[in-house]
Structure 1
Amino acid sequence: MAIRIAASRLPLLLLALAAGRAHAHPPGLSSLDLALKPDHIEATATFALQDIEAFVPMDSDLDAEVSDAEREAAKPAIAKLLAEQLRISADGTELQSQPGQASFDGRNNAQVQMVYPAAAQRQLRLQSGFLGLLPDGHQQYLTVRDAAGKTLAEKMLGRNDDQLDLTLAAAADTAAPQAAFAAFGDFFKLGIEHILTGYDHLLFLFALLAVTHSLWPALKIITFFTIAHSITLACAGLRLVELPGSFVEPFIAATIIYVGLENIIRGAHPKGRHWLTFGFGLIHGFGFAGVLQEMNISAADSGILLPLLAFNLGIETGQIAVAALVLPLIWWLNSQVATAGRFLKGGSVAVSLMGAFWLVERTML
């Protein structure tokens, strides 16, 4: 009796968990780039528009839509807000920014460029005060470069750690080996967090694994998914191939629907599941890359390679951990004659319904 109850309620549990994700907003991501020029400092801050709108309302006529004219009118206020919240000191002297310039890109990001008319020779101190206004969990990727473009420091800032103190003479000598690895752990952790909170990716993986009964088929599925999304994550991160989020996110929802329906129609032993996994995994890789693109660190240079590797390793670690937890349960349920059919069909119906909800949400809502 206990087995029957667990199997019958599992699809509802999956649907409830996924629905919770649909109404939740993941922590924001942003970037801050500092370029130390011989006679001035240039700062570029990039935030998602939704992070800015809470402090600089753009819908001035309250018609629930933000027009191009309203966005343009909000640019000075956005630039002023970020310039006031970013504090930079050079050699013990706090600097004042010249009037900043705000712009918008095609990914719903706001970018503010600020110039500080002084140079730092020995010591640089930075505090990103805007993080204290944002929800707890917001992460900001900070990069400091010298006039030649050499990376002097990298750090992941947050509400409880929003400062950087940098001794420039020491940084110039040690930055090359140290800056490359400084943020490795941060991006590894970010990859784990992304997969553990990426319920659409996890639901897709569950639907793929739900038909397995042993280690070898499950291992092929996980391996092909890993190879596929690693390929497109690297291509997108290096900007070799780019797809808009307006296409990628609905397509990911469609892959969830398809796999769920295939489980229902073809049953417990669909042929070629690993090849299907590879094809759809390519699309999911572009979804993973969206995190790096939101932080404005995707670029075709060597600076992206280590964060890209760390982020992908974090995704794989989280994915393997989840698979290690759910696979024994899946295999056990599939081995029970009385519950195997209901588990597969019920779980697949729940998966397809959730995928359909996400598809509608990402295309029409």
Structure 2
Amino acid sequence: MGFIGTAYGRVLLAALLLLATASVWAHAPGLSSLDVLVNPDRLDVKVTFALQDIEAFSPMDSDLDAEVTDGEREAAKPAIARLLAGQLRISLDGADIAPAGPGLVEFDGQNNARAEFHYPVAAKQQLSVQSGLLMQLPEGHQQYLTVRDASGKALAEKMLTRQDDRLGLSLGDPASGEARASASALFNTFSDFFKLGIEHIVTGYDHLLFLLALLVVTHSFWPAVKIITFFTLAHSLTLALAGLNLVELPSSFVEPFIAATIIYVGIENLIRGEHPKGRHWLTFGFGLIHGFGFAGVLKEMDISSGDTGILLPLLSFNLGIESGQIAVASLVLPLIWWLNNNVRIADRFLRGCSIAVSLMGCYWLVERTVF
């Protein structure tokens, strides 16, 4: 039993080390959206990308001083429009069509670039949309494509990837307008965002580290369940409010604050020890901020269209987050409990863990405020 326990302890400590040395922004950046509106005389196309994805192909820092000014951003708009238009292939009835103008590019408060293009059309039976830029973006980048008619009714929705970057749709088929209402289309949308939620929590190292810092003081099942439940309620609430555009906080505030919550919990573990009072209320309060962090993913993708609007993606994305969170907790909690109930190493484990968590939180805080 001693050998097994020692092996488990090493596994957990190795996992903590990986988290503590992960030099990432703590969110997978590979998300974007593509919205096509089919009007009687034109196609309106809107493309939304995170600025960090665009800058790799269309640099904005023209004077190379490591700082992008408002003037440099403004000057970069025509190049961004040409880049996106060149990588977007729109075909009608087998013939490629070009946009009527250079395209309009705008930036928002969520560090996104949005480009709008207008394509004049005549006969339109078969529509094909291909996002060629996915081949140049990092592996794993996903782009949510929505095709709607002039009334806003969704004709088709699909999550594009590097391996599958094209959607074909028959506009002349009356049944195509009902495609989104079919059970299979609903399931595909639910499945896409459910998987996206799982991926986000599994690669969201800051959220995982925060949850670990909260759970590292637990010794048994029910205290851990209480913490996880309060965290779930809190971030689900603000995820819904932000996703429905009822409450909005800028990412420049949310991301550093998330890092600060990690630092605080780590320090509290060091000061108050194994049984800090009111941990569930602390979890709820800080969980509200983490919910805005989760909502940033849907904001990046500009998900706001379709018959179900934001509701189905929001629900399935949140369920994916909860499923991933429960899966991670079920793996690490038995190891945490074994270490905490081992009198010889419990104190060293808690202190070592809390110091590592606080240091990682400090790293993210500096990265998100200074750099």
- With the length of structure 2 as denominator, give the TM-score of the two structures: 0.93
Question: 2:176 aligned with 1:175, yes or no?
Answer: no
Partner of 1:104: 107
Query: CA, structure 1 residues 25+208, in 2 after alignment: closer, same or farther (shift >3 Å)?
Result: closer
Q: Is the 8 A contact 1:181 1:306 kept in 2?
A: no
Q: Is the 8 A contact 2:106 2:114 kept in 1?
A: yes
Query: CA, structure 1 residues 194+336, in 2 after alignment: closer, same or farther (shift >3 Å)?
Result: same
Deviations 1:232-276 (A, max 9, x none): 000000011111111111111111111111111111111121111
Q: Letter of the 2:58 partner, please give it.
A: V
Deviations 1:111-157 (A, max 9, x none): 11111100563221111111111111111110110000001111111
Query: CA, structure 1 residues 119+173, in 2 after alignment: closer, same or farther (shift >3 Å)?
Result: farther
Matches within 5 A, 1:1-365: 7=9, 13-22=15-24, 26-99=28-101, 100-119=103-122, 121-168=124-171, 169=173, 170-178=175-183, 179-298=185-304, 302-365=308-371
Query: CA, structure 1 residues 283+166, in 2 after alignment: closer, same or farther (shift >3 Å)?
Result: same
Q: Letter of the 1:143 partner, please give it.
A: T
Q: Letter of the 1:66 partner, please give it.
A: V
Query: CA, structure 1 residues 92+4, in 2 after alignment: closer, same or farther (shift >3 Å)?
Result: closer
Shift of 1:182: 3.0
Q: Is the 8 A contact 2:193 2:317 kept in 1?
A: yes
1: CA distance, partners of 2:260 / 2:305:
29
More displaced 10-residue stretch of structure 1: 10-19 or 303-312: 10-19
Structure 2, unmatched stretches of 5+, are none
Q: Letter of the 2:256 partner, please give it.
A: P
1:203 match: secondary structure? helix
Q: Letter of the 2:60 partner, please give it.
A: M
Q: Is the 8 A contact 1:180 1:303 kept in 2?
A: no
Deviations 1:200-258 (A, max 9, x none): 11111111111111111111111111111100000000011111111111111111111
Q: Letter of the 1:224 partner, please give it.
A: F
Shift of 1:295: 0.6
Query: CA, structure 1 residues 103+213, in 2 after alignment: closer, same or farther (shift >3 Å)?
Result: same
Shift of 1:20: 1.5
More displaced 10-residue stretch of structure 1: 258-267 or 5-14: 5-14
- With the length of structure 1 as denominator, give the TM-score of the two structures: 0.94
1: CA distance, partners of 2:161 / 2:344:
50
2: CA distance, partners of 1:68 / 1:196:
35
2: CA distance, partners of 1:119 / 1:229:
47
Identity %: 69
2: CA distance, partners of 1:251 / 1:43:
35
Q: Is the 8 A contact 1:238 1:300 kept in 2?
A: no
Shift of 1:29: 1.0
Query: CA, structure 1 residues 101+9, in 2 after alignment: closer, same or farther (shift >3 Å)?
Result: same
2:309 match: secondary structure? helix
1:20 match: secondary structure? coil
1:141 match: secondary structure? strand
2: CA distance, partners of 1:264 / 1:25:
27
Deviations 1:334-363 (A, max 9, x none): 111101111111111111111111111111
Deviations 1:31-76 (A, max 9, x none): 1000000011110101111211222222222222222222222211
Deviations 1:264-293 (A, max 9, x none): 111111112111111111111001000000
RMSD: 2.1
Shift of 1:10: 5.2
1: CA distance, partners of 2:278 / 2:59:
51
Q: Is the 8 A contact 1:131 1:158 kept in 2?
A: yes
1: CA distance, partners of 2:43 / 2:213:
51
Q: Is the 8 A contact 1:123 1:165 kept in 2?
A: yes
1:106 match: secondary structure? coil
2: CA distance, partners of 1:286 / 1:182:
25
More displaced 10-residue stretch of structure 1: 35-44 or 271-280: 271-280
